[in-house]
Structure 1
Amino acid sequence: ASYDPYWVKRGWSRRAPVKTGSRIDTPGPFARPKAGTVMIAGVAWAQHRGVDRVEVRVDDGPWQEARLAAEDTRDTWRQWSFPWQATKGGHTLTVRATDRTGTVQTDKRTRTIPDGASGRHSVVVTVE
């Protein structure tokens, strides 16, 4: 017999695969790092597909490729890092991931319900 699982009854999608995503863990929001080399780092994920690439953008500049840590399996989160030559002033740091199917993390923000949030993570910092 067909039935709706409890999460469908609560407004969630029946099937909601994990979307390709990434986040910045350091520096944190509103951090005040010193000018010079600042390590930007975080994690990326693409369940069942694996993470192929992570890129970082500073303000409206070009996307720059981050260094990826070793991958245990396609289903594990993957750490990444990017050494940024930070200049004084306010900056917005943004990250995006690309999975092994070539799908780039969308910049379209959606709410969590019904099938998971999406969008690109960014943090604002002030370099001193």
Structure 2
Amino acid sequence: GNPLQASEDSPYLQIGETKYGRPILDRGIRFDKTTLEEAAKYALLSLDSTMRSNVTVGPPIDLLAYSVDELEITRQRRFTANDPDLVKIGVRWEQALRQAVARLPQIRFRAGEESIVLVEPPVPSQS
């Protein structure tokens, strides 16, 4: 078959259902800047978003990552539906997303309307 290789224009390859999780990869993955460990987190976040939006996608999730010219597989993991790490990643991602939205500037619905916020909205705690 044809060899696949990451490039600056295409820093990752996503197979299967792409419409739900791809925006996370597009915004997060940066060629030659994202570590393999960070890329694995982005992959799980992408799958988490896909599973939320498409009931036909779900665990188990098999994750395998390896570096260029690495012949030994040292990073491999299967995540089941109740895997504590997978659950924690999903919960923390949702909390972080809600906190990020709370920190965004207020939306002005009328042209010329000032967006003055004297007190920042409270940020929910990470319980």
Q: TM-score, normalised by structure 1?
A: 0.27
Q: TM-score, normalised by structure 2?
A: 0.27
Higher share of residues assigned strand: 1
Higher share of residues assigned helix: 2
Q: Which has the larger radius of gyration?
A: 2
